[in-house]
Amino acid sequence: MKEQIYIVAQSLQQPRVVKRIIEKAAEYKNVKVYGFKRDFYNVDNSAKLADYPNVEVIIIGLLRNEQYLHRLFLYLKLLFLLNIKTPFGRKEIYTFGLDLRFICCFFFNSDIDYEIADIMWLYRPKMARKVLSRIDFYLSKRSKKVIFTSEGFYRRHYAFLPEERVIIIENRFKTYGKVKPLAHILTDKIRIAYIGSFRYGRIIADLIKVVQRHPEYELDFYGDGFADIVEGIKTAASASANVHYHGPYKNPADLESIYANTNLNFAAYDNTLDNEKVAMPNKFYESGYFNVPIVCSKGTFVGEKTIEMQMGWLIEPEEQSIESFLGSISISDLVTCHEKIKKMDRTLFEVK
């Protein structure tokens, strides 16, 4: 077992970050985490880190969107703790995201592993994208290892990195012994679930419109997101008997009951966004683990995997395509897909 690693994390509530910290706790005698809280998480998934005595968590502060002066102060505080409050000697660092990888440039005498789960500069305007991508590529080259959660990220945007310095860690589901796969799915009606972060307002609005026109469907929202989108979901739920908003949930503890209440996981995200085209969202792995069919967007890497593994269907994420798709499938189709997923190797979806 290795001696010590320092982890620098932008969001300690993010399930993927918590999972990675726990993985490192199995590799190192001492794991020191410098992290931030975010104001858009209502459930603290980091509480499970208290079960690992070799993990020490130091919370730098609360990062709020668009409060850049306050964020700068917190980053300076982080640098002080990293450079002044840690022992001399070469150090191993593991960090997430472009901004923290940049900050870690000023953590001297260190070997840095850099995890990329979203390529944030792909969301920026052309000039900002050009500048930020160059910075990101430079920092990637200067990293000891670069970890991607989707092979699509590497193949499409970072193929210049030598393979021996690249690690692909798919965002597979970790149960922590709290949930188990479903042996059966509900067959009374088509039950659609939208699970996770609500980021795509137009797509969600189109999905709601379709379901409101068809009382034979049921639509459940689990999670949280932008305030205006959440408000729109709540309004629809109060006006429609077949639309329901359940709010934030605990990952993974609540997921078995969530997936047990659905037979179709809606993960058709915005396929006009370059990041979404190559991402592998955790909903794919959750669907596989719980044996629930999934619907994704055409023209995406996750969509290719969905069809390749026969786990579900592809649509264009817009109103007409959604309505046409839901009108074309039957409960029998969902059960057939469910049975196919049940026969698949669990290690495709679950990380031990």
Q: Each residue of 319-348: pLDDT tens digit?
A: 999 999 999 999 999 999 999 999 999 999
- pLDDT recorded at residue 219: 98
Mean pLDDT, rounded, of the chain: 94
37 burial level (CB within 10 Å; 0-12, 13-18, 19+): middle
Structure tokens at 246: 């359940």
Q: Which of 232, 202, 226, 221 is nearest to 319 (CA)?
A: 202
Residue 165 DSSP code: G
pLDDT in tens, 250-261: 999 999 999 999
pLDDT in tens, 109-135: 899 999 999 999 999 999 999 999 999
Residue 337 DSSP code: H
| Helix, strand, or coil (residue 172) | coil
pLDDT in tens, 232-273: 999 999 999 999 999 999 999 999 999 999 999 999 999 999
Q: Which of 194, 248, 185 is nearest to 218 (CA)?
A: 194
Q: Which of 249, 341, 248, 328 is nearest to 287 (CA)?
A: 341
Beta bridge partners of 264: 192
79 burial level (CB within 10 Å; 0-12, 13-18, 19+): middle
Q: List C-alpha distances in Å: 28 to 23, 94, 101, 336.
A: 9, 12, 21, 44
**Where along the chain do the CATH 3.40.50.2000 domains lie?**
2-168, 190-348
Q: Which fold has domain 190-348?
A: Rossmann fold (3.40.50)
**What's the pTM value of the predicted model, to 2 decimals?**
0.90
Distance in angstroms (rounded) separating the CA atoms of residues 336 and 339: 5
pLDDT in tens, 136-163: 999 999 999 999 999 999 999 999 999 9
308 burial level (CB within 10 Å; 0-12, 13-18, 19+): exposed
Q: How big is the CA angle at 162 (ends 160 and 166), to the nearest 5 degrees?
A: 105
- Options 2.60.40.10, 3.40.50.2000, 3.40.50.300, 3.40.640.10; CATH for 2-168 is 3.40.50.2000
